[in-house]
């Protein structure tokens, strides 16, 4: 079985010495849809930020598509892992939606026609074709989140990494986003507190707690184990 992500004994400490990740090891195969859950401060976001080199480990290794992720390979491997941040406003900073979605492909040195094709395809994928000339700051929260995903899709990543994708969305926008995530073909890794979304989108769940992997298994097995969830500060989605 081909591993598209392999994390081996990963450790990370902040500058003040606080350990955020403590020997995490996990493998994710091509096409898997994996949720990373756990209490606040468990290390979920810190783990995600290692997957395309935003953070560098203080111990252990990460392999992406069979290659070690390090300073020598980061330029080649980073485009393979598209990260969507929790706050869409951190990802949208250009005057128009087109400019935001085109930013990555332009920085990849792609020709204008290919950039336009990728922008059009990415906006179509997230259900926002025709939004090219809109100002991002005039969009709704759900539209901003979808555009943030489009900025990543335009770079044709193999892996899509999302941090709290449904956070702060109203019910209608949340359902639209869940439908979008369910239909995307990418290997998907998401850190979230939205366990109902996990049930709809992800086939596998990993619980992090205290910077360590506390459980790893099928979504149905993990989320229906009320005692396991409670022991890690989580609540069953059926509660």
DSSP per position, 17-67: S-EEEEEEEEEEETT-EEEEE-STTSSHHHHHHHTTTSS--SEEEEEETTE
pLDDT at 171: 92
Digit-coded pLDDT (tens) for 107-157:
999 999 999 999 999 999 999 999 999 999 999 999 999 999 999 999 999
Mean pLDDT of 90-98: 95
pLDDT at 2: 72
Whole-angstrom distance, CA of residue 145 vs CA of residue 140: 9
In a domain, 237, yes or no: no
CATH code where residue 174 lies: 3.40.50.300
In a domain, 236, yes or no: no
In a domain, 178, yes or no: yes
Decide: residue 47, CB within 10 A, 0-12 exposed, 13-18 middle, 19+ buried: buried
Instruction: Kindly provide the b/e burial profile for residues 4-40, where b requires at least 16 CB atoms within 10 angstroms of the residue's own CB.
Output: bbbbbebebeeeeeebbbbebebebeeebbbbbbbee
Which candidate, 211, 205, 161, places its Cα nearest to that of 46? 211
Digit-coded pLDDT (tens) for 20-50:
999 999 999 999 999 999 999 999 999 999 9
Tell me how many domains the chain contains. 1
For the chain, what is the mean pLDDT?
94
State which residues form the domain around 126.
3-231
In a domain, 91, yes or no: yes
């Amino acid at each position: 079985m081909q591993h598209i992500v392999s994390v081996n004994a990963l450790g990370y400490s902040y500058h003040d010495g606080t350990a955020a990740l403590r020997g995490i090891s996990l493998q994710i195969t091509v096409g898997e849809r994996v949720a990373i859950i756990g209490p606040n401060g468990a290390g979920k976001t810190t783990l995600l930020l290692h997957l395309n080199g935003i953070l560098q480990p203080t111990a252990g290794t990460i392999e992406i598509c069979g290659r070690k992720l390090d300073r020598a390979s980061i330029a080649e491997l980073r485009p393979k892992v598209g990260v969507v941040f929790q706050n869409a406003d951190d990802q949208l900073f250009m005057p128009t939606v087109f400019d935001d979605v085109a930013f990555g492909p332009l920085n990849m040195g792609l020709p204008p026609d290919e950039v336009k094709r990728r922008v059009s395809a990415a906006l179509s994928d997230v259900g926002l074709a025709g939004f090219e000339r809109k100002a991002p700051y005039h969009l709704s929260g759900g539209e901003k989140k979808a555009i943030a995903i489009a900025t990543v899709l335009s770079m044709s990543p193999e892996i899509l990494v999302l941090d709290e994708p449904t956070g702060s969305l109203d019910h209608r926008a949340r359902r639209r986003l869940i439908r979008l995530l369910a239909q995307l073909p990418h290997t998907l890794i998401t850190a979230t507190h939205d366990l109902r979304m996990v049930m709809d989108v992800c086939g596998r769940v990993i619980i992090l707690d205290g910077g360590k992997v506390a459980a790893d298994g099928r979504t149905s097995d993990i989320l229906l184990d009320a005692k396991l969830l409670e022991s890690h500060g989580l609540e069953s989605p059926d509660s």
